[in-house]
Amino acid sequence: MGKSESKIIVVTSGKGGVGKTTTSAAVGAELANRGYKTVVVDFDIGLRNLDLIMGCERRVIFDFVNVIQNDANLSQALIKDKRVENLYVLPASQTRDKDALTKEGVERVLADLQKEFDFIVCDSPAGIEKGALMALYFADEAIVVSNPEISSVRDSDRIIGVLNSRSRRSEQGKEIKKHLLITRYAQARVNRGEMLSVEDVQEILAIPLLGIIPESPNVLNASNRGIPVTLDTPSDAKRAYQQAVARLLGEASSDDKSWISKIFAGIQLFNRSPV
Amino acid sequence: MSFLKFLGLSSHGKSARIARERLQIVLSHQRADGGDEDFLPKLRNELITVISKYVKIEAEQINVQLQRSGSYSVLELNIMLPTHAHDGEVIIAD
């Protein structure tokens, strides 16, 4: 008997280094903060990093692949966060290769997680190979993370195509709900014409905007210390992630213009100092 | 200098616009190639099979394209039928 509203959300991008793991940790922690029982699952087999960003690297004993191969059960592999009630991490294996993820295995583990959790956040590896395909295949919704930079936007377009054609929902003829999250945004550079604007990226990718995370030193500071941005001290990035989660939950105002302009107003303030 | 910037003529000021234009071109190719809309070749073959039941048609007479724009996608089918095909006649190959 699963949780009736249990939702699988993949955080994906195609390109590496755009902020998938940072986003998975921040979104997962904020969902848990709001009382939803949440697990963040690392699909980057062989290159696990979610444990570091979530600050639980020294508590990893069993991992996702151990559970798939029945060497451990879920309760042994799940790491409970010490800061927030309701937040768990399922770490990736550091030693195996991505072929350890079988479709049947992933399906079984996700089905078991759905019995326990309100939200399952799947942190995808970069690329469009097996690990990334497994991370997105069973998803109900996708957060497409993109930097305002050409190679990132191009890869996001590719991954949107993959979501539309190679996810389970697409195979069932259903739509997979896609959200655009623009990260490392620098309004001052956009104003100077040096960076693609939110409107440019959104027009090109043509999926609804979930949020804009400003370029911020707080993000590196948080990952240095193993703290999800949304559990860290207040910052513009934290606030932007909180607003993105509110939108993900359908809580934000229906007037898109107003929330976008509010975010812009915030970014403008932070960028007032000379760069 | 600032006047040039205002006109968008300084080298820095141009770069976002260049990025946008390059992206639009590269993505139009990426999407036209099918990208990962990998059902398109199959759809095309099945269309040829179905239409061939009724009308003689060559593979190159069917053009299938998927274009994403705004919040929707447009599936464009372009099928060139031989003359008289609209009368429901079955055209026998010579």
- Poorest-confidence range of A16-30, B9-23, B73-87? B73-87
Query: How do the pLDDT tens digits run along chain A, 275 residues long?
Result: 456 689 999 999 999 999 999 999 999 999 999 999 999 999 999 899 999 999 999 999 999 999 999 999 999 999 999 999 999 999 999 877 767 899 999 999 999 999 999 999 999 999 999 999 999 999 999 999 999 999 999 999 999 999 998 899 988 888 899 999 999 999 999 999 999 999 999 999 999 999 999 999 999 999 999 999 999 999 999 999 999 999 999 986 544 555 555 555 555 555 444 43
CB contacts of A190 in chain B (<8 Å) are 16
Residue B89 in tokens? 């006649």
Distances A218 to A29, A53, A149, A213, B13 between C-alpha atoms, Å: 16, 13, 21, 11, 28
Report yes or no: A193 at the B interface, CB cutoff 8 Å: yes
Mutation target to probe the A interface, by most A beta carbons within 10 A, among B20, B25, B69 is B20
pLDDT at res. B7? 52
Report yes or no: A65 at the B interface, CB cutoff 8 Å: no
Neighbours of A196 (CB within 10 A): 27
Strand (E) positions, chain A? 7-12, 38-42, 79-80, 87-90, 119-123, 141-146, 177-185, 209-214
pLDDT band at B76 (very low <50, low <70, confident <90, very high): confident
CB contacts of A149 in chain B (<8 Å) are 19
**Residues B31-42, buried b or exposed e (16+ Cβ, 10 A)?**
beebbbbebbee
pLDDT at res. B93? 47
Put simply, the answer to whether A158 touches B26 (Cβ < 8 Å) is no
Mutation target to probe the A interface, by most A beta carbons within 10 A, among B6, B30, B36, B74 is B36
Put simply, the answer to whether A196 touches B20 (Cβ < 8 Å) is yes
CB contacts of A160 in chain B (<8 Å) are 68
In this predicted complex, what is the ipTM?
0.78
pLDDT at res. A275? 37
Nearest to A12 by CA among A200, A178, A208, A243: A178
Contacts 24+ apart (CB under 8 A), B73-81: B77/B47, B79/B47, B79/B51, B81/B55, B81/B57
Question: Is pLDDT at B11 greater than 60 in this prediction?
Answer: no
Put simply, the answer to whether B36 touches A195 (Cβ < 8 Å) is no
Report yes or no: B9 at the A interface, CB cutoff 8 Å: no
pLDDT at res. A1? 43
Distances A48 to A41, A131, A133, A142, B50 between C-alpha atoms, Å: 10, 12, 17, 20, 49
Neighbours of A216 (CB within 10 A): 21
Q: How far is B53 from chain A (nearest CA, A)?
A: 27
pLDDT at res. A263? 58
**Could you tell me the pTM of the whole model?**
0.78
Sign of CA dihedral A81, A83, A87, A92: negative
Q: Which residue of B has its CA nearest to A191?
A: B13
Residue A203 in tokens? 């027009």
Of B28 and A114, more confident: A114
Of B8 and A160, more confident: A160
Question: Is pLDDT at B25 greater than 50 in this prediction?
Answer: yes
Of B36 and A231, more confident: A231
Report yes or no: A162 at the B interface, CB cutoff 8 Å: yes
Question: Is pLDDT at B85 greater than 90 in this prediction?
Answer: no
